[in-house]
Copies of this chain bind each other. A is one copy, B any other.
Amino acid sequence: MGGYYIGIGRKARRVYGFDEMALVPGNKTIDPQDVDIGWHIGKLPFKIPIFAAAMDGVVDVNFAIEMGRLGGIAVLNLGGIQTRYENPHKVIEEIVHSSPKEAVEIMQKIYREPIKKELIKKRITQIKEANAPAVVSCIPQQAKEFAPIVQEAGADIFVVQATVATAKYLSSKREALDFKKLCEDTSIPVIAGNCVTYKSAYELMETGIDAILVGVGPGAACTTREVLGVGVPQVTATIDVAAARDDYLKHSGRYVSIITDGGMRTGGDICKALASGTDAVMIGSAFARAKEAPGKGYHWGMATSDENLPRGARVYVGTTGTLKEILYGPARLDDGSQNLTWAIKTSMSYCGVSSIKKMHEIEMVIAPTIKSEGKFFQEIQRAAKEK
């Protein structure tokens, strides 16, 4: 597995993120219209491999409905504003209009309001009544309590998500979530995460979960790596978890889909995640730019409001188009943030593959895009002159 000496008697792996990698075109090319980007969780098929992340600036009931209508999946956060407030819009307004300086404190206050079980039920019902898939998430600490409510309300998928989730959680003070029992007791698919290593992914798969979220520390609205030092870049994390998935499939006969979550801003990043072996991706900031996003161009992570240790800033990403334009175009921006499905199809067509499974096997190269500073300065000057 390689590894480099980082000091006397100590080696470390070199790991890789999206910005250092590039995809190599294939020896044949394929008509993008012949490329299939469908995938599945267990027997549940999906038309496009894209989730909108369970973030309060991205997904509310309306967004989830529109996303479902377009063939994608939006995850509603059960631990966020939607289930704490009857009227979430007013609360989000307050976040959006706070100054950068006071934003963290205001959010800490807002998220102190307790979660209401009747609102969990109500939000799921609202989504289902519009015939959209209801996919909801909570943290492991609340999973046991929320699981029956969620099922009863008719949700389609239950996501249990923590910064780092493992099959073993040790605490002298509180009971740990038993993922195995949760899966046995839950009739709808369970997605769990996040994880980044082979072993912890394999052990989570053994508990019976249906899909696994990959990603610790890479997201745009998250400073986990800065604050805690913890994180593994997404290309290596995805490859390692994909290796666990393939080995687990060999041993168990069960295919647990993996979903790379966080750190992707462009179609190019999504394509690299697929080439790293993921079945689908979960995205926050790209969808925070949708007209339908409740955050009105603002974006913040689930840990931004942490009472003790806020991680992740409120980021302004702007509103750049409709959700439909972001997913299906036509793109009006050239930065890779719009028409994501066509970007995936085009990229796969250049790589000469017609399905996501085959995309898992294409060649990647290590190709950092750092420019010499001579050019760096020229570019800054040039940008300044642009009229």
In the bound complex, CA of A163 to CA of B26 (Å): 12
Which of these, B27, B216, B225, B350, contacts A163 with CB under 8 Å?
B350
What residues on B are CB-neighbors of A88 within 8 Å? none
Which of A144-152, A253-261, A332-340 forms part of the interface with chain B? Answer: A332-340
A22 to B104, Cβ gap below 8 A? no
Q: How far is the CA of A369 from the CA of B190 in the complex (A)?
A: 32
The answer to whether B335 touches A223 (Cβ under 8 A) is yes
Distance in angstroms between the alpha carbons of A4 and B108 in the assembled complex = 44
Q: Does A311 belong to the interface (CB within 8 Å)? A: yes
Q: Which of A77-85, A122-130, A131-139, A373-381 contacts B (4 or more CB under 8 A)?
A: A373-381
Distance, CA A196 to CA B364, complexed state (A): 13
Contact A8 B240 (CB under 8 A): yes
A49 on the B face (CB < 8 A): no
A249 within 8 A of partner (CB): no
Query: Are the CB atoms of B365 and A373 closer together than 8 Å?
Result: no
- Chain B residues in 8 Å Cβ range of A108: 330
Check if A266 sits within 8 Å of B227, measured CB to CB.
yes
- A173 to B104 CA separation, bound complex (whole angstroms): 54
A238 to B6, CA, bound (A): 10
A residues 332-387 in Cβ contact with B at 8 Å: 332-336, 339, 342-343, 346-347, 350-352, 363-379, 382-383, 385-387
A30–B166 Cα gap in the complex (Å)?
10
A335 contacts across to B, CB distance below 8 A: 223, 226-227, 374, 378
Query: Judging by beta carbons under 8 Å apart, are B24 and A197 in contact?
Result: yes
Query: CB-CB < 8 A to A375: which residues of B?
Result: 19, 265
Q: A13, A267, A377 — which one has the most chain B CB atoms within 10 A of its CB? A: A13
**Residue A252 at the chain B interface, CB threshold 8 Å:** no
Nearest residue (CB) in B for A366 is B14
Chain B: minimal CB distance from A214 (Å)? 11
Residues of B contacting A17 with CB < 8 Å? 367, 369
Please, which residues of chain B bring their CB within 8 A of the CB of A200?
Answer: 25-27
Residue of B nearest to A275 (CB): B229
Residue A269 is within 8 A (CB to CB) of chain B in the complex: yes
Interface-lining segment among A56-64, A113-121, A301-309: A301-309
Task: Using A2-B4, A25-B216 as known contacts, list a sample of 19 further A-B pairs with CB atoms less than 8 Å apart, ordered by residue number in A.
Answer: A4-B366, A6-B366, A8-B239, A12-B16, A14-B365, A19-B375, A22-B233, A23-B230, A25-B232, A27-B203, A34-B173, A226-B268, A228-B343, A229-B272, A230-B350, A309-B331, A311-B334, A316-B382, A368-B370
Return 22 A-B CB contacts under 8 Å, by A number: A1-B5, A5-B14, A6-B235, A12-B16, A12-B21, A12-B365, A18-B229, A22-B231, A22-B233, A25-B195, A25-B196, A26-B164, A26-B200, A34-B173, A225-B369, A226-B374, A229-B267, A265-B375, A307-B330, A309-B343, A335-B378, A377-B383
